[in-house]
Amino acid sequence: MSAVLPGSPARSASAGAGVAPPVTRLLSPAGWLGVFVALGLVLGVAPLLNLVVPADSAFHLSEYALLLIGKMMCYAMCALAMDLIWGYTGILSLGHGVFFALGGYVMGMYLMRQIGRDGNYKSDLPDFMVFLDWKELPWHWALSDSFVATLLLVLLVPGLLAFVFGYFAFRSRIKGVYFSIITQAVTFAAMLLFFRNETGFGGNNGFTDFKRILGIPIATPGMRMTLFAITGVTLVGFFLFARWLVQSKYGRVLQAIRDAESRVMFTGYDPLHYKLSIWVISAVMCAVAGALYVPQVGIINPSEMSPAASIEMAIWTAVGGRGTLIGPIIGAFFVNGAKSVLTQWVPEFWLYFLGALFILVTLFLPAGIVGLVDRLRGRKSEVRA
In one-letter notation, the amino acid at residue 274 is: Y
Confirm whether 317 is domain-assigned: no
Residue 377 binned pLDDT confidence (cut-offs 50, 70, 90): confident
Query: Could you report how far apart the first and last alpha carbons of the chain are, in Å?
Result: 35
Residue 53 binned pLDDT confidence (cut-offs 50, 70, 90): very high
Confirm whether 154 is domain-assigned: yes
In one-letter notation, the amino acid at residue 377 is: R
Residue 381 binned pLDDT confidence (cut-offs 50, 70, 90): low
For 318-333, how does the pLDDT look when each residue is reduced to its tens digit (9 = 90+)? 999 999 999 999 999 9
Confirm whether 339 is domain-assigned: no
List CB contacts of 284: < 8 A, sequence separation 6 or more.
99, 155, 158, 159, 162
In one-letter notation, the amino acid at residue 146 is: S
CB-count exposure of residue 107 (10 Å: 0-12, 13-18, 19+): buried
Compute the average pLDDT of residues 215-229: 94
The pLDDT of residue 12 is 37
The pLDDT of residue 347 is 87
State the angle between helix axes of 271-297 and 147-171 in degrees (0 to 180), rounded to the nearest 10. 140
The pLDDT of residue 1 is 38
Confirm whether 287 is domain-assigned: yes
Confirm whether 267 is domain-assigned: yes
331-337 long-range contacts (CB < 8 A, ≥24 apart) are 331/79, 331/368, 331/369, 332/72, 332/75, 332/76, 332/78, 332/79, 333/72, 333/76, 334/369, 336/71, 336/72, 336/75, 337/72
Residue 6 binned pLDDT confidence (cut-offs 50, 70, 90): very low
By mean pLDDT, which of 16-20, 147-151, 284-288 is the weakest?
16-20
Question: pTM for this structure?
Answer: 0.92
Paired residues of 212 in beta bridges: 217
For 252-301, how does the pLDDT look when each residue is reduced to its tens digit (9 = 90+)? 999 999 999 999 999 989 999 999 999 999 999 999 999 999 999 999 99
For 65-121, how does the pLDDT look when each residue is reduced to its tens digit (9 = 90+)? 999 999 999 999 999 999 999 999 999 999 999 999 999 999 999 999 999 899 889
Burial state string for 330-361 with b = 16 or more CB within 10 A and e = fewer than 16: bbbbbbbeebeebeeeeeeebeeebeebbeeb
The more confidently predicted of residues 380 and 185 is: 185
Confirm whether 293 is domain-assigned: yes
For 176-195, how does the pLDDT look when each residue is reduced to its tens digit (9 = 90+)? 999 999 999 999 999 999 99
The pLDDT of residue 63 is 94
Count of domains in the chain?
Answer: 1
The pLDDT of residue 383 is 64
Alpha-carbon 298 to chain mean position = 18
Confirm whether 314 is domain-assigned: no
Compute the average pLDDT of residues 201-209: 93
Determine the structural domain holding residue 237 and report its residue range: 62-306
Separation CA 334–CA 336 (nearest Å): 6
The pLDDT of residue 35 is 96
Confirm whether 45 is domain-assigned: no
